[in-house]
Amino acid sequence: MSKLSEALQSGKFVVTGEVGPPKGVLIQEMLESAKLYKGRVAAVNVTDQQSAVMRLGSLAVCHLLKDVEIEPIFQITCRDRNRIAIQSDLLSAYILGVENVLCLTGDYVTLGDHPQAKPVFDLDSVSLLQAAVQLQQGKDLAGKELDGVPKFFLGATVTPGANPLEPQIIKMEKKVKAGAQFFQTQGVYEPRKFEEFMGAVKHLNVPVLAGIILLKSAGMARFMNKNVAGVHVPDNFIDEMEKAENRVDKSIEIATRLINELKGLCQGIHIMPIGWEKRVPAVLDAAEL
């Protein structure tokens, strides 16, 4: 059983973090950032070609994190692989000791740095979950028997700030039915709306980790409001960032306030520092986590 699974089952308020692989093979800076999470979080997501930008592979980085005793969460998207490659990567993850898997459809290639690439999308996030469950049952998607079976702790994502929200809830229900055992959300900046979302999905009885994206500037907030579906940074946060004498301190303060408001609403938080991994310990200290 993964440590993340044990932590969520224990009923403790769980924290997960995130690192992005480098665009190249120099890994030291990424590993130093990842080590800042050690002993502070239950597990660390490794993004998979996030925003369709080509980077070092998620599975390789997960293996590196295991080597330094950090529990990884293997993010795997459907954009770049057909079902043969996806199933193979899932089996590879398991034999490398990686049990936590976050199943994602993936951003479209036109968002990234290789817009001419051919997208695959042979599966989507729901059928990817189904594929992982079927592997655990001893068969591949062609119905062929496996020689030894993996065991995963399967996760998925949801956007609680989506408008309308109903399609997100329907998709979340499908993901739970397909095998999702925990959820990490898109960034949350409106705790009251998040509380309404949690009430609407209470019947699913599945752990939810609320997403915390560290704000770097007022400009970043405006960009997300314009370009990131389901994320809305309220004007008061934008004003605070714009007027702040020290943006880092203000970012930490805002994240801490959000975490404190979310603590009683969900089973944990997922911190997305987007390059500000060095700030995460200060956030956790301020939130007494």
Token reading at 18: 């995130």
Residues with Cβ within 8 Å of 246's Cβ and at least 6 positions away in sequence, in order, are: none
Tally of domains within the chain: 1
Whether residue 1 has pLDDT greater than 90: no
What is the C-alpha separation between 182 and 214, in angstroms, rounded? 22
Location of structure tokens 């980085």: 61
Per residue in 7-28, pLDDT (tens digit) is: 999 999 999 999 999 999 999 9
Angle between helices 235-243 and 247-262 (to 10 degrees): 150
Give the angle subtended at the CA of 49 by the CAs of 48 and 50, to the nearest 5°: 90
How does the average pLDDT of the chain come out, rounded? 96
- Which CATH number do you get for residue 87? 3.20.20.220
User: Residue 171 sits in which domain range?
Assistant: 3-286
Task: Output the pLDDT for position 229.
Answer: 87
DSSP codes joined into one string, 96-121 = TT--EEEEE----GGGSS-TTSPP--
What mean pLDDT do residues 193-217 have?
A: 97
Task: Output the pLDDT for position 122.
Answer: 98
Burial pattern 26-55, b for ≥16 Cβ within 10 A else e, equals eeeebbebbebbeebbbbbbbbbbbebeeb
Per residue in 218-265, pLDDT (tens digit) is: 999 999 999 998 999 999 999 999 999 999 999 999 999 999 999 999
**Which stretches within the chain are classed as H helix?**
3-10, 28-35, 58-67, 83-95, 125-136, 166-178, 191-200, 218-227, 235-243, 247-262, 280-286
What mean pLDDT do residues 106-114 have?
A: 94
Decide if 250 contacts 25 (C-beta within 8 A): no
Token reading at 164: 């309308």
